[in-house]
Structure 1
Amino acid sequence: MPTGLVAVEPAAVRERIQQDLPILQACYELSLAKVPELGGRFMLSFDVISSGFVQDVTLQEQGCQYHQHKKGLVQPGIATTSLAKIEHVVVLTLENRSFDNLVGWLYTPELPAKTFVMPVSSQPPYYDGLAYGNFSNPNVPSALPISVPVQRGADHFTIPDPDPHEAFQYVTKQLYGDHKPVFGDVAPMNGFVRNYATVEGSTPEHIMQTYTPEQLPVLSFLARQFAISDAWFSSVPTQTQANRAFLHSGTSDGQVNNGNPFFYGSKTIFNVLSDYDVSWRVYSDSGVLPSLVRLNMTRLWSPIFNRHFQRFEQFKRDAASGRLPAYSFIEPRFIHDAPFVGGTVNSEHPPTNVQAGEQFLADVYTALFRGANWDKTVLIITFDEHGGIYDHVSPPWGAVPPDDKSQPGKQGFYFDRFGVRVATIVVSPWVDESVVFRSFSTPYDHTSILATIMDWQGIPRGELPSKRVQAAANITSVFRRVTPRKMPDMIHLPPWNVMKEQSDFAMGKRKLTDFEKGVIGAYTHYMNHLKGKKFNQRELKQILDHIKTLSDANKHIHRLRQQ
């Protein structure tokens, strides 16, 4: 069994012992040992089984040992953590930013995290960010400098612009260069600059620019006030739609890239929750478009699910009144549709302005934790994939292929390799300040959210026919508080105007990103499905070939709405 590691204060150790002893029905051993390297803190180490359940707890203090034993049956870890106090799980998934791009400078040797929840053997033994090394990528041939270093601080809030490559074949080049990887190959992560150089209109070194905590005050505030994982990986080394499919179903039906078809037919977590009479809603800030969840997942097309899909304004009302469902999934705005409803894209997908995402994060946090059930709520913030942007950590192998369609899936991929790291933050009054956490078993990926929800609700993981979900680690170890803490006020955001950088005219002329093409394709297919019209992939491709810019997309949306 893997051994876990948690740094905690002595008083918290004793309080935790008093709480766990009457609850755990497992046989375990307790002892105390002081660790000088941690400045007088204590180490709490414990064994967990693969699904994240506590099996054995050990506390040690140097020069003093004592033992207490309690025999009985092993109980799920949910019962021994404060996650059992949670009534509302809220997940917000933003777009296409790597871990290093957003939070690479969150902690430094001068400003380390206070608490680490991770295996004893986990490496490195500190926050795996950019302040602990010198990172670079080879420049394009014959260009100077020969090596392009990571830049601390982005030149502006739409970096990188234009949108990087993010399809499966390009991600492989970003990670491995021209090498074709075989199982177990550690990625040198040295192909980002050269791959971005192949994007028309790009400045290759921009792919190595990263945002500082001062540039992203909301995301950094939440990560430092609560818990962030520095070892959370996207589910597939590719672009948005496959990763979002894993987030909802634990599989992408063998698909690796956005494209035609634009939908997935597997059972979703929402179907499972409906089967078990567990409440859920998807709240979307998508403007005129329906929820992307609904567009992509055909098992949610039935009109019986209509009431489960609401707008973001309804989310704020539900949070304020204490009427949120057990599971809420929040979507940002993916398409610039100001001609219809005003507003701007806040998904953080390049090349849109990350400040809009900052404001959206602040709105979500304030709605939840100034609402009626703030002390019974957890917010999980993550990003679907890295978006072709530099990260220095090689994604691990050993991912479990979810189903027969994935062995192999498209492009011969066996779904045995995780995608690039993304920032994942857990926000709750039951989570301590300044925590960095990692998995004690299978590496965290988006299916860990599904595993956590199902374990929390006592639903057998087999209800989702995905072997990846069944093997996933849940996030129970981060919920260690005995009582809820007071939630800090959201920081004051400086005034900004995203339209200064992205006017309606400029946005209208901009070419669609690959993701935006996928959203329009899914919307076209869904709208025609509602009207009983069927057409093949060739017909859909012919329609989409004529949609080049955001202006074209808005005209197409208008036509579909008028038909």
Structure 2
Amino acid sequence: MNTPMPQIKHVILLMLENRSLDNVLGWLYEAENNTPLHVIPEGSAKQYDGLVVGNFSNPYQYQGKTRSYAIHKGLTGNPTNVPDYDPYEEYEHVNNQLFGSAKAWDKKVTPTKSNTPKPANMMQGFFQDYSASWMTWEQTLQILQTYTPKDLPVLHTLARQYAVSDRWFSSVPSQTNPNRAFAHCGSSMGRVVNEHKSSVEQFKWWDRSQRKYVWARNIWNVLDEHKVSWRIYYSSPWPPKALSPLKKQHKGFTHYTFLGDYENLHRFKKMQFFAEAVKANTLDEFVFIEPKWGGGFGGKYGTVQGNDYHPPANVRPGEVLLKNIVDTLKSNSEVWNESLLVITFDEHGGTYDHVPPPWGAPRPDKSEGDGFLFDRYGVRVPTILVSPWIEEGTVFRAPPKQHFDHTSLIATVLKWRGIDPAKSGLGKRVSRAPTFDNVVNRTSPRTDFAELKVATAAKLRPIKVANKTNTKVKIYLGWGNGSRKASVLTVTGKYQRAESAQYNANTDTASHDYWVSVGYWAGPSSDHEPVDRFTGLQWRLLWQGWRHILHHQSMTVKQAAITTKFGGNDVYDRHSKITISNNTHSRVYYHLYSKAEKGGAAGKTLKGYINRGESMVYHSGKDTFRWRYRVIFSTWVGDEVIRGKEKVDGTIDRSWRFFWGAPKVIKRNGSLVINQPKPTVSFQPEGWDIRN
């Protein structure tokens, strides 16, 4: 058979993690009205199938109301960590994202050919599937947010300068391991989801007739049989020691998962040796690069930082990895002019895409799982081809009535080395998979080089905290996993009335989630409130545990409204007394006036402070005359000062405020209780909310 791409001696495949095409490349050609310079094949649509402002949305249902929210261009929060939580990627959730809606978001959706929704009704379940009770509303909206060329300049530059497919689908509408199995083996052997949440599994099974484990046949077995050199470069051993069944680590995820019995270990090298091979011009024919794994559930549950673009981790390390690989290849012009770099993502990872995956995928074998026959593709993912033999501004697709998926990687590599995919033993989907060798179509290599620049780390607005109450508050700002063991930052402390502080997250050396806890002083006035974390019984927590605060938010502790309640009666005997109780969070300053019942002669005026949680009692029954009593009080709204130094005259010092415009009557045997609920907290900005 004819071997395509004779000018190419090295194919380098980098498979990244969990991003849809719209999520990271939806705005690639927006400035050109989604019109690239070249499309392949000729006769296919002239426009890049990206996003258009205002054209796409997802519904959300809350308390019986349904509202539509537009797909958002750009990001909020920390722009390198969107979304803050890892979206769902399991088969059931992907079905919900594709075929669900706000009306059926909580039901298990199992589509079949007989009930296939029309494409116009698909792709409507991402928003509802992502939302969860532990997220803020602003975090929930992040599933509709998309990266722009400014956010991911390396990925966008490579896609524009070389070739990108807007019709490349993941192989399975599910998660990592089944899709990587299709990329290496042409089938997932009936596995629809990862067998374990840790992703630690091996594609082998027990063969009774042979009385041994049999591993799934893969592309490296085929290349070995045809004496094609190959190598896998990995970043870290796998599995993590804590998760390894035998406490034994292999040379990367791919080695353990698909080549666990492969004994020729020189085929596996750490990533730092990739640059040495390029420099020495000893790069193998087929090279597979395994990134450093990242991810985690996100938020208070923790995030693992890798360089694979996996949400919710920071995407900048992924940009750095891409730049380093391309710059390394370009550093040796001979290697660069003989190389094809393929960049793809294993699955969409729950992130939004607007193109419905097609049905009619060739079944690789007779396997099925969870009722799924592997006859439907997964969600679109970015696939970029980089080579000096590719025209700038190219968008490529499969021939009519065919679709690219990860088995096209196998088919193209095998054809390039003169191996018939139909005879490879890697299943029917590989044998029928379209190839992309026609994209490498220049007659001479390009000499222009696209300059790759990683986006400058976003400047985060400081996290601000402010005390607007009439008492001291304790504010603890920490990062970590949401437990009380979170590292405490410098804004921690007792903040007096009207004080504020801020923390500059730009000084962090790593990406963190931030958490806040607030307490207020509810005990009597004292110069010696305990400073240790809420150990004093008079400190009250506003909430149990920690609350999430976003990188760009401010938090204000607000004073609750003061209310008053009069009680008692006008019984006048030697036991009569007037009681004034202070149940607010600060001192009050009272005036108690007496006036004769008849004649209006003025009696006496009592003045004084009542500390927090205390009362004053005046024994009116001891008065020698029958008086009428009136009362007025002031609250302190100024800055905290040493007790006893506040101005006494409430009419002079502006930091004292009369609660009423004039004194009010209090009964001879009466009471006045001055109440104030605990402070409240507000976060700004709050984000958009369907409940508003």
Taking structure 1 as the reference length, the TM-score comes to: 0.70
The structure number with the bigger radius of gyration is: 2
The match for 1:136 among 44, 52, 57 is 57
Q: Quick one: structure 1 residues 498 and 463, their matched pair in 2 at CA, closer, same or farther if it must change by over 3 Å?
A: farther
Distance 1:212 1:109 in 2: 11
Is 1:154 the counterpart of 2:80? The answer is no
Aligned equivalent of 1:181: 111
The match for 2:407 among 430, 447, 453 is 447
Distance 1:159 1:102 in 2: 11
Is 1:369 the counterpart of 2:330? The answer is yes
Whether the aligned pair in 1 keeps the contact of 2:195 and 2:201 (CA below 8 Å) is yes
The letter for the 2-side match of 1:419 is: G
Q: Secondary structure at the residue paired with 1:373?
A: helix
The match for 2:313 among 352, 377, 385 is 352
The letter for the 2-side match of 1:147 is: S
CA RMSD of aligned residues (A): 2.7
Distance 2:350 2:163 in 1: 25
- Displacement of 1:445 after TM fit? 0.3
Cα displacement string for residues 488-519 of structure 1 (whole angstroms, at most 9, x for unaligned residues)? 14323344499999xx9737989xxxxxxxxx
Whether the aligned pair in 2 keeps the contact of 1:107 and 1:131 (CA below 8 Å) is no
- Displacement of 1:365 after TM fit? 0.7
Cα displacement string for residues 263-295 of structure 1 (whole angstroms, at most 9, x for unaligned residues)? 213111011111111000110123676311112
Q: Secondary structure at the residue paired with 2:13?
A: strand
Distance 1:499 1:211 in 2: 17
The letter for the 2-side match of 1:166 is: E
Distance 1:100 1:431 in 2: 23
Aligned equivalent of 2:254: 293
Distance 1:257 1:283 in 2: 25
The letter for the 2-side match of 1:194 is: Q
The match for 1:114 among 26, 33, 37 is 37
The match for 1:223 among 145, 148, 159 is 159
Is 1:283 the counterpart of 2:233? The answer is yes
Distance 2:148 2:232 in 1: 31
Whether the aligned pair in 2 keeps the contact of 1:165 and 1:199 (CA below 8 Å) is no
The letter for the 2-side match of 1:369 is: K
Distance 1:250 1:262 in 2: 17
Matches within 5 A, 1:107-506: 107-108=29-30, 110=32, 112-118=35-41, 120=43, 122=44, 124-131=45-52, 134-142=55-63, 146-155=67-76, 156-177=79-100, 178=104, 180-183=110-113, 185-187=117-119, 188-198=122-132, 200-201=134-135, 203-260=139-196, 262-265=201-204, 266-286=216-236, 290-297=251-258, 300-335=259-294, 344-371=305-332, 372-405=334-367, 409-441=368-400, 442-461=402-421, 462-496=423-457, 506=480
Cα displacement string for residues 394-434 of structure 1 (whole angstroms, at most 9, x for unaligned residues)? 000110111122xxx22110000000000000000110100
Q: Quick one: structure 1 residues 487 and 92, their matched pair in 2 at CA, closer, same or farther if it must change by over 3 Å?
A: farther
Higher relative contact order, structure no. (Cα contacts within 8 Å, ≥ 6 residues apart): 1
Aligned equivalent of 1:8: none
Distance 1:393 1:93 in 2: 21
Distance 1:220 1:306 in 2: 36
Whether the aligned pair in 2 keeps the contact of 1:228 and 1:424 (CA below 8 Å) is yes
Aligned equivalent of 1:561: none
Q: Quick one: structure 1 residues 234 and 201, their matched pair in 2 at CA, closer, same or farther if it must change by over 3 Å?
A: same
Cα displacement string for residues 3-41 of structure 1 (whole angstroms, at most 9, x for unaligned residues)? xxxxxxxxxxxxxxxxxxxxxxxxxxxxxxxxxxxxxxx
Q: Secondary structure at the residue paired with 1:272?
A: helix
- Displacement of 1:160 after TM fit? 1.1
Segments of structure 2 that go 5 or more residues without pairing to the other structure are 205-215, 240-250, 297-303, 463-477, 485-692
Aligned equivalent of 1:537: none
Whether the aligned pair in 1 keeps the contact of 2:57 and 2:71 (CA below 8 Å) is yes
Distance 2:154 2:133 in 1: 31
- Displacement of 1:356 after TM fit? 1.0
Distance 1:394 1:336 in 2: 26
Distance 2:271 2:319 in 1: 16
Cα displacement string for residues 344-398 of structure 1 (whole angstroms, at most 9, x for unaligned residues)? 4111111111111101110111111222411000000000000001100000011
Q: Quick one: structure 1 residues 206 and 469, their matched pair in 2 at CA, closer, same or farther if it must change by over 3 Å?
A: same
Segments of structure 1 that go 5 or more residues without pairing to the other structure are 1-74, 338-342, 511-563
Distance 2:133 2:155 in 1: 28
Distance 1:508 1:347 in 2: 25
Aligned equivalent of 1:93: 15
Aligned equivalent of 1:544: none
The letter for the 2-side match of 1:100 is: D
Identity of aligned residues (%): 39
Q: Quick one: structure 1 residues 186 and 366, their matched pair in 2 at CA, closer, same or farther if it must change by over 3 Å?
A: farther
Distance 1:454 1:499 in 2: 48
Aligned length: 418
Distance 2:275 2:267 in 1: 15
Whether the aligned pair in 2 keeps the contact of 1:101 and 1:210 (CA below 8 Å) is yes
The letter for the 1-side match of 2:47 is: Y
Q: Secondary structure at the residue paired with 1:246?
A: helix
Cα displacement string for residues 280-324 of structure 1 (whole angstroms, at most 9, x for unaligned residues)? 011012367631111211xx2235221111111001111122111
Whether the aligned pair in 1 keeps the contact of 2:53 and 2:73 (CA below 8 Å) is no
Whether the aligned pair in 2 keeps the contact of 1:119 and 1:438 (CA below 8 Å) is no
Q: Is the strand fraction higher in 1 or 2?
A: 2
Distance 1:201 1:165 in 2: 14
Cα displacement string for residues 311-345 of structure 1 (whole angstroms, at most 9, x for unaligned residues)? 110011111221110000001101589xxxxx941
- Displacement of 1:224 after TM fit? 0.4
Distance 1:418 1:166 in 2: 14
Q: Quick one: structure 1 residues 139 and 497, their matched pair in 2 at CA, closer, same or farther if it must change by over 3 Å?
A: closer
Cα displacement string for residues 45-70 of structure 1 (whole angstroms, at most 9, x for unaligned residues)? xxxxxxxxxxxxxxxxxxxxxxxxxx
Distance 1:356 1:191 in 2: 30
Aligned equivalent of 2:601: none
Distance 1:263 1:499 in 2: 42
Distance 1:267 1:454 in 2: 14
The letter for the 2-side match of 1:453 is: V
The letter for the 2-side match of 1:396 is: P
Distance 1:498 1:317 in 2: 36
- Displacement of 1:185 after TM fit? 4.2
Q: Secondary structure at the residue paired with 1:363?
A: helix
Q: Quick one: structure 1 residues 333 and 486, their matched pair in 2 at CA, closer, same or farther if it must change by over 3 Å?
A: same
Q: Quick one: structure 1 residues 472 and 158, their matched pair in 2 at CA, closer, same or farther if it must change by over 3 Å?
A: same
Whether the aligned pair in 2 keeps the contact of 1:286 and 1:335 (CA below 8 Å) is no
